[in-house]
Amino acid sequence: MSMLVVNDWVEFTTLKEMLGLQDGTLASHLKKLEGNEFIKIKKEFIGRKPQTSYAVTETGRKAFTDHLDALEEIIRQSK
């Protein structure tokens, strides 16, 4: 999610390489994020090659921010 929050669109291959995941593993995670409406998908052809890209939705951005806030609160409480 952090990669999607700071970029407009991120290509599947880029996500896979940056995260060091196999196709199936990444696809499974992306499916869950899509099911929760945290991401949106864009499929297009570049020349003859299909390209799938992902972007965060406003719902996803809020969920990510809420998650970071919760982590910060845990850190604050542990001091």
Predicted confidence (pLDDT) per residue in 2-61, tens digit: 999 999 999 999 999 999 999 999 999 999 999 999 999 999 999 999 999 999 999 999
Whole-prediction pTM? 0.88
User: What's the rounded Cα separation, in Å, for the pair 19 and 26?
Assistant: 9
Helices (H), the chain: 2-6, 12-19, 23-35, 58-78
Q: What is the CATH number of the domain that holds 11?
A: 1.10.10.10
Residue 12 belongs to domain spanning: 2-78
Domain tally, the chain = 1
